[in-house]
Structure 1
């Protein structure tokens, strides 16, 4: 009598993405979009024919650019890969393709070929770094009675630097994982580029014809 084969194990679910975005950038973008919508709609409704066309061209150009640089940027990371959504491109990097992550005046990731991709969604804040350094110094200072304050469990880090630390740890731990192999994949955001180029062309034509 043959022994029945055991059922195949269920596929391991993919880990959930960690999402890194800039709340300040998103808030600024929403405010700019609201202002642009107010001015643009007013021009479309109440303006003369030429003003309406200029307003339409301006909206076609400005709205995608504002969305691209404020609302769109995001960084997604899970156990298998890093996905960087920048203003005009989306870069997918399996952890095996990541050479290093560097934080200077901007946060950047390098692939194995040395190509650099900026992480727009994790901006560098020198002010936040100085604030974190002050907090670290204050935590290590003695209180007025001469006793040493309780130190935090780890070094105080700016939010952007802490996010880069988290990504470096993932890259180191997951680079050899089976699901983290492969090369970088870059996709252009044509949904952003297309309307912006169309708006720019229309605006140039309208200004040229007077």
Structure 2
């Protein structure tokens, strides 16, 4: 069995998760502050990938990334960068597709932190940046871990978006979910089962780790 699609899926999931950690946490904090119409609209747009069929999102991303249209044309003309049927295109599409899985748990965690925590930090002379990194963020470590793990798992198994944007290029865009689809089409159920079992095992370990970390995070110190 060719393991390249598995490694490509893991690589895509890792890169997407790391980027979203840096992008999603500040956005989640911004959204958790006092609500406004702008934030409501932003949150609705971010949440859309949760309810949109992946093929619909993939189709519109395909149009946007195409070198014949708008954003994709601008990238191609100025940077000679083509996002359609390329690994960088898969990364950008995965970031958009998995964004709500990173932001939602972190936003909820920030929203449940008592405001007195930040206010006490300000009274002690800490800046907003110091308060964010030294006071607020350490208190939501379990939620950040959960968000990162969910983002990784979601990206690892995505199919519709990667098929629309990346196609099926071996070594470039053929991730594990596409390999399973190909194997089933060729009635090679042995290979399809092998890929599926590997993804199942990775996902199971990920879910167990989330439960263990969250259980330890809420465990009483008197237990």
TM-score between the two structures when normalised by the length of structure 2: 0.30
Give the number of the structure whose alpha-carbon radius of gyration is greater. Answer: 1
Which of the pair is proportionally richer in strand? 1
Which of the pair is proportionally richer in helix? 2
Structure ranking higher on relative contact order (CA contacts 8 Å, 6+ apart): 2
